[in-house]
Structure 1
Amino acid sequence: MTAAKTKRRMPDGTAGRRPRKRARDLPSPSHGDLISDLPDAILGSIISLLPTKDGARTQAISRRWCPLWRSAPLNLDAHDICLNKFKLSSIVSSILRDHPGPARRFSFNHIRLHKPKKKLAEDAAQIESWFFSSCLHNLQELDISFEFWGGLHASVNHYQLPLPSMIRLAPTLLVARIGMCKLPSDIAAPSLNFPLLRKLTLWLVSISEEAMDVLLSACHVLEALFLQDIHDVGCLHISLPTLRIISFSATLLGREELVVDDVPRLERLLCQGVDGETIQVNKAPKLKVLGPLSPHVSKIKIANLVFQGRIRPSLGHSICTMNILALKFSGPDLNAVLGVLNCFPCLEKLYVIWDKYLKAKMKNLYQYDPLNPVKCLESHLKVLVLKNYTGGEEEVGFAKFFVLNARVVKEINFAVCDTIAIDKNWMTDQLRLLQVEARASPDARLKFRSGYSRWQTNYVNSSDLSIADPFS
């Protein structure tokens, strides 16, 4: 027996079904599409997120869209606007002249400059005119770099950034990235002020110590500082109470010194590509992320803990705030890694990068004593990542130590070199050699991922501040 369907009672007491809406009863977009019915402010926000060329093309959609690009905040990215690098500057000038502003972002990398003095003067005058454009008033993001026809490094010593003109943009800038130029040594301290700047990147830049001090002193809320290939700085002092991230990449090109004096909020110290420099951090009570450390570093001193080139760190000092650490060695030197781990008893995530082109090795290595185990292996280390893994005898022995001794580890990730073909037989053999059945942590899971390039040199994602782990 089937139950009778209950009919809905109508207001007049009669039974009936809910009337279906016909197509002609539905609201129809007034301009032929739903997007065009959105308010101008929302459409303007959408247009400002588009690439520059695509944003300008929206003017041809319809009469409704025609004025929107000019009224939307300008997102000017010169990349791919024109293949001719010399003509590109004129196109950018036209855009800045035609768009009334305001501009949200101005990005123009590798601005092509002429070498002859007369032509270079014309280039410089054109570039300086951009910073006086009313369109760039209230600019939030600036990304700019320069290039002579002769190559990258020629720009560093020959083109001087028109900093006095750029000061007009300083009050509203949130992000600034400047590269391949020379900053003037006579920066006027009273007139330089970046009240909102939170992220500053300098790369392939020539700047004096005094000018760098003045520049950083003008950044009152700076949270992230990225330095790459900085020229003409002998000893760089950083003292910014708001700084959370410091990143170096082949920073000082020599044997110079970097001193971080007062950074009470510093959480990340990223030093990829550092070769021969001395880095000293006097006070960093909240430091959580460090690396990649390698024997190539001349000296890194954090509070009382010293890492000095190929000499193992002393065991008398430790940093308990460290959660994530990256180490880079020429091969699987277990004792060298354990010697470093003794300095970080609360470490939760460890990256070990094997780079066969890194010739330097540690000296006076720490000798592991089973009666005096490494503290972080007993109670804190949750994740181990081995990069450029090939499954050789020494690498298996290195990994097996952590399988058998890391008591609370949950993941051991193997980033396998792209020269290794992972198949069922290879995997079975690896699991047998690693003695997975005898693992110290019952929750440990081993994960193998292929395709890791042995030529990879960039191990750090320092640009995205929202990423909790810059080495992942």
Structure 2
Amino acid sequence: MEAGGASTTTTRKRKAAALEGHPAPAAAAADPGMGEGDGGRSGEDGRDLDRLSSLPDAILGEIISLLPTQQGARTMILASRWRHLWRSAPLNFDCRHLACPWPGLPALMLRIISAHQGPGRRFSTPEVLYTINDIDAVEGCLLSPALARLQELKLNSWRGQRLPELVFRFSDTLVVFRIERCRLPDATVQRFHFPRLQRLEIVHSSTSECSLHSMIAGCPSLECLLISRCGGPRCLRINSLVLRSLTVRNYSLGGAPILEEIVIESAPCLERLFHLNQKQDLRVSVLFAPKLETLGCTNSTRLVFGSTDIQGSRTIKCLALSMPTLSLAMVIGLIRRFPCLEKLYIQRNTSRKNNNAWRHKYRDLLKSLDIILKIMVLNCYSGRKPDVDFVTFFALNAKQLESMTLVVQTDDEDFLAKQHHKLQLEKRASSGARFHFTTERRYEFGYKLSF
């Protein structure tokens, strides 16, 4: 019985090590029959069974497919029960997770894809493609029968080359497609038709305005669209019955024309709209988007609803705001224009001083301003007077506030105690409001909200 208990203990260590990406203990590696003779029992009376290994192969295969490539392959050493599962499970082939020196990477990629017997579900190329051999290896993988029913494809850092024709063999199956550092000429885009595609990311790539619209039109099921640092188009017009999320980071790419305007002509399902670049102006016109609830903007975003400059939209309930300097006046102006705003996320990149004193300036305004905010998150809270004035305004006047999270640089108890006193939290307008101080950085949460 003692031997059986020790064997099972080693089994658990072995499984944990494999799933966490660590080498298996030496004792585990020396016992090839583990997981069979002891039935996965963990104690002398056998009450604690290994329920994971008792699951059907199909379910275990789905679990393995969610792991990074290297961790998924390591599950083969758990027991003879697991040896065949990774090869037959849906393949999640992410080349970025392969611990292999660059010269041997192309050969390793081809060896993995040829050895796998299950259907390919996800394929992500290496972060950097150094030579033409890397390109050839990627194209060899794309030609593999294992990827015939590919659902997710990420072409990372395609070295500025044109989109490979091989991607069109996945026209009927692709659901997620990321294109990075790629040329998208008009002749190639003419074939761009992915009827099942739900998420499209175009990053640091070049194309024409006409081709960009053709790509979107070629994806009738598109729900999420990301356009980041792309050169060529100046204006993007959205007409989509199914699009739910649109994220844009406009950026000048090698002197090419930059995206200057977005016009939401008709998007009845659009829920989230984000502009993430503080340094580039962008005009956003929303003509018809009745379900638009989440908005991400910066100090360089000019918003137009209907034919009037940001006169207000009663559909906006969540605002992710990125600004170089914390400005109470700007935030109050947005709250007045979005009277149904319930969630406010503020990304402040610097701690430059700004005058946020409000007691006299906003005394008359408070009589008519109804602040219905329930959740607030402020990144980069310094504890200095401008920040204290900003937070105190909402602590003393937001009567429906439920929680406020302040991201700080230190969790020193003396510092936190002083902040509670400075912010006058004992006088908060909402008795149920909770104030959290955390050192967890939340950079670009607007981008995370968008997807």
TM-score category, normalised to shorter length = 0.7 to 0.9
Please say which structure displays the higher CA radius of gyration.
Answer: 1
Residue among 421, 445, 448 paired with 1:459? 445
Counterpart-to-counterpart distance in 2, 1:360 and 1:172: 52
CA contact (8 A) 1:167 1:192 kept: yes
1:392 aligns with 384
The letter for the 1-side match of 2:267 is V
Residue among 412, 418, 423 paired with 1:422? 412
The letter for the 1-side match of 2:225 is L
Shift of the alpha carbon at 1:319? 0.8
| Aligned ranges 1:44-443 → 2 under 5 Å | 44-59=61-76, 65-114=82-131, 120=132, 123-146=134-157, 155-156=159-160, 159-162=161-164, 164-187=165-188, 189=190, 191-251=191-251, 254=258, 256-274=260-278, 275-291=280-296, 293-297=297-301, 299-306=302-309, 317-356=311-350, 368=362, 370=364, 373=367, 375-377=369-371, 380-416=372-408, 418=409, 420=410, 422-424=412-414, 426-443=415-432
Counterpart-to-counterpart distance in 2, 1:161 and 1:360: 47
Cα separation, partners in 2 of 1:64 and 1:400, compared to 1, 3 Å: closer
The letter for the 1-side match of 2:306 is A
CA contact (8 A) 1:347 1:381 kept: yes
2:27 aligns with none
CA deviations 1:259-308 (Å, max 9, x no partner) are 232211111112112522333232211111112x33233x232334535x
1:151 aligns with none
Q: What RMSD in Å do the two structures reach over aligned CA positions?
A: 3.1
CA contact (8 A) 1:252 1:277 kept: no
Structure 2 gaps of 5+ residues are 1-34, 41-51
Counterpart-to-counterpart distance in 2, 1:243 and 1:281: 14
Counterpart-to-counterpart distance in 2, 1:361 and 1:236: 37
CA deviations 1:135-157 (Å, max 9, x no partner) are 1111111122126xxxxxxx33x
Structure 1 gaps of 5+ residues are 1-28, 115-119, 148-154, 308-316, 466-472
Counterpart-to-counterpart distance in 2, 1:233 and 1:359: 37
CA contact (8 A) 1:193 1:218 kept: yes
Cα separation, partners in 2 of 1:198 and 1:252, compared to 1, 3 Å: farther
The letter for the 2-side match of 1:423 is E
The letter for the 1-side match of 2:421 is R
The letter for the 2-side match of 1:397 is D
CA contact (8 A) 2:276 2:298 kept: no
The letter for the 2-side match of 1:237 is R
Shift of the alpha carbon at 1:167? 0.7
Shift of the alpha carbon at 1:347? 0.8
The letter for the 1-side match of 2:249 is S
Counterpart-to-counterpart distance in 1, 2:326 and 2:449: 29
Aligned residues: 397
The letter for the 1-side match of 2:286 is V
The answer to which structure has the higher strand fraction is 1
TM-score (norm. length: structure 2): 0.78
1:446 matched to 2:416? The reply is no
Cα separation, partners in 2 of 1:60 and 1:228, compared to 1, 3 Å: same
Stretch of structure 1 that moved more, 57-66 or 395-404: 57-66
Shift of the alpha carbon at 1:168? 0.6
CA deviations 1:408-442 (Å, max 9, x no partner) are 222233222x1x56324x44443333333433323
The answer to which structure has the higher helix fraction is 2
CA contact (8 A) 1:295 1:361 kept: no
CA contact (8 A) 1:407 1:440 kept: yes
CA contact (8 A) 1:255 1:278 kept: no
The letter for the 1-side match of 2:244 is R
CA contact (8 A) 2:248 2:275 kept: yes
Give identity over the alignment, percent: 33
Counterpart-to-counterpart distance in 1, 2:436 and 2:85: 51
CA contact (8 A) 1:288 1:323 kept: yes
SS at match of 1:404: helix
Cα separation, partners in 2 of 1:358 and 1:113, compared to 1, 3 Å: farther
Counterpart-to-counterpart distance in 1, 2:192 and 2:327: 49
